Amino acid sequence: MKKIKLFIATALLMIVASCGSGDCPQKCCVVSDNGSKELSFESSDKDLELTFYWAKKMALSYAHDGGDPVGCWYEAALPNRQAFCMRDAAHQSIGAEILGLSKHNYNMMYKFAANISEAKDWCTYWEIDKNDNPCRADYESDDDFWYNLNANFDVMYACWRLYEWTGDKRYLNDEAFNNFYSLSAKNYVDSWQLNPEQMLTRTREVNRKPDAKRFGGSRGVPSYVETFGGLYSSSDLVATIYGGYDAYSKILAEAGDKEKSAQMAARAEDYRKHLDEKWWNSEINTYHTFWTKDGTFADGEGLTHVIWFGAVKEPARIKGTVEKMLARKEWNIENISYFPLLWYRYNYSDEAYKILKDIVLAKRCEYPEVSYGMIEGIVSGTMGIQPSASQKRVTTLPQITGDNYLQVNNLPMLGGTVSVRHNDNKTSAFVNNTPAEITWEAAFVGDYENILVNGTSVKAQKRTDAMGATVSFVEVKLGKGEQACCCVK
């Protein structure tokens, strides 16, 4: 089948791709946006469709388009606080990109980067309100404020992911961002005693100010878990620092500084090794979560970020950690908002799908992280859509539950949009409406010798995923306005 060229100026866009009679288990896809430029989603799975539109409406209700002193922003904190905090914004950022909130993301991340200061021991503002001030719920003065020490590295990790999604080089080159990355990687780590060899010797007295009456004990919480007393360090902090250094290494490489990139990659590896060598608990087949003031390890709910940042590389250890998490009966809604994307990443698709299907019934489902997390869980989880500006590539990998199709139209990325449809987990169609040629990596779970590309059999390439499972794929070059269809038998 010949490629059908699409022209953005055309009022009605309709692409019909056919692999040829008998060549595939089902016909290739029809991708249509009926002339609309708006993000849309449709599926034969009406539960998933309901979740997408519930999440889209909820998430956009939290978005504010520049009428406040802080500029464009979306709520990323407790509902009605009228503010955005570092952890929530970092987690919500890709869901926000999917929903077209790119200018909001850039403004919010810029605010965090620009407010790093020596007076705050190289912290920035944990939470910023709509009036462009540090949120009073978490801040009294530069000596007296709440701060989770993971935060700088979480923002670094989010900024790399945002660059990969958008191709916006300001995340690489802007002076405020470069200053934030550099100060976080050196001054912040030294000031808070966060070098690998200090992680099990540091105390909570680090940078505590004697006159801090309101947040004295929380100026530098060494974890994202805020309910565990006597905490001096945590595996989720180690993993987040790994994620930050790994992201910074990639930012530097993309910006052309190969030497410093290698240095940051080595630093990231130091933290990964520290996590594996010091925190692994073979008795329970997962990682300890806390290091306490008594000089002992303890265990709790902090495993989510250990795997969120990709700090665990061995499939057996990932499996042990995920299954330990699945065995836990109670999770707060903040953690649950991460789970769909994580469970798809590690091949627990049934567990991911159950959350997506049932989330509208969950307590506190109005928490902003939830709706943004479900949007990302469907688009990057169930549909497996992941752009990479650094590689000029978009990967798709369907993990659909049941005999269903999923289709997303006008998905913002890389300075334009794409449209994608999957029929079951066997057939994918892709439309490139970004400004430049990209490589579509059409991937399918399983070991296939050949993949049909527009009806022509092409030898499949192979790779293994994070759990060691085989993924088969082909690379298809698509110029602006071009489309293709791929399928496996």
Please check the confidence at residue 4 and state whether its pLDDT lies above 80. no
Report the pLDDT value the prediction gives residue 80, as an integer from 0 to 100. 85
Report the pLDDT value the prediction gives residue 18, as an integer from 0 to 100. 43
pTM for the model stands at: 0.94
Q: In sequence order, what are the residues at sequence separation of 6 or more whose Cβ sits closer than 8 angstroms to the Cβ of residue 267? A: 185, 245, 249
- Give the pLDDT band of residue 300 (cuts 50, 70, 90): confident
- Max intra-chain CA distance, the chain: 77
Best CA proximity match to 66, nearest among 108, 29, 27, 31: 108
Q: What is the CA radius of gyration of the chain?
A: 23
Angle subtended at Cα 474 by Cα 447 and Cα 251, rounded to the nearest 5 degrees: 110
| Span 78-99, average pLDDT | 96
Report the pLDDT value the prediction gives residue 175, as an integer from 0 to 100. 98
Please check the confidence at residue 32 and state whether its pLDDT lies above 90. no
Please check the confidence at residue 16 and state whether its pLDDT lies above 80. no
Please check the confidence at residue 76 and state whether its pLDDT lies above 80. yes
Angle subtended at Cα 415 by Cα 409 and Cα 417, rounded to the nearest 5 degrees: 10
Report the pLDDT value the prediction gives residue 30, as an integer from 0 to 100. 55
- Give the pLDDT band of residue 66 (cuts 50, 70, 90): confident
- Give the pLDDT band of residue 441 (cuts 50, 70, 90): very high
Q: What distance in Å separates the CA atoms of residue 27 and residue 17, rounded to the nearest whole number?
A: 8
Report the pLDDT value the prediction gives residue 2, as an integer from 0 to 100. 37
Which of 19-33, 94-108, 301-315 has the weakest average pLDDT?
19-33
| Span 122-140, average pLDDT | 98
Best CA proximity match to 273, nearest among 340, 355, 218, 199: 199
Average model confidence (pLDDT) across the chain: 93
Please check the confidence at residue 173 and state whether its pLDDT lies above 80. yes
Q: What distance in Å separates the CA atoms of residue 202 and residue 204, rounded to the nearest whole number?
A: 7
Please check the confidence at residue 251 and state whether its pLDDT lies above 50. yes
Q: What distance in Å separates the CA atoms of residue 86 and residue 380, rounded to the nearest whole number?
A: 22
Report the pLDDT value the prediction gives residue 316, as an integer from 0 to 100. 98
| Span 40-61, average pLDDT | 97
Report the pLDDT value the prediction gives residue 431, as an integer from 0 to 100. 96
Q: What distance in Å separates the CA atoms of residue 260 and residue 238, rounded to the nearest whole number?
A: 21
Please check the confidence at residue 6 and state whether its pLDDT lies above 50. no
Q: What distance in Å separates the CA atoms of residue 395 and residue 408, rounded to the nearest whole number?
A: 14
Best CA proximity match to 234, nearest among 175, 278, 273, 172: 278
Burial class (CB in 10 A: 0-12, 13-18, 19+), 16: middle
Q: Could you tell me what percent of the chain has a pLDDT over 90?
A: 89
Paired strand residues for 198:
none
Residue with more model confidence, 16 or 313: 313
Q: What distance in Å separates the CA atoms of residue 205 and residue 73, rounded to the nearest whole number?
A: 34
Angle subtended at Cα 111 by Cα 381 and Cα 256, rounded to the nearest 5 degrees: 70
Q: Which SS3 state, helix, strand or coil, does residue 449 take? A: coil
Paired strand residues for 395:
386, 441
CA–CA distances in Å: residue 55 to residues 224, 371, 457: 25, 4, 39
Q: What distance in Å separates the CA atoms of residue 7 and residue 98, rounded to the nearest whole number?
A: 22
Report the pLDDT value the prediction gives residue 79, as an integer from 0 to 100. 87
Which of 29-43, 119-133, 140-154, 209-223 has the weakest average pLDDT?
29-43
Report the pLDDT value the prediction gives residue 224, as an integer from 0 to 100. 97
| Under 8 Å between Cβ of 206 and 135 | no
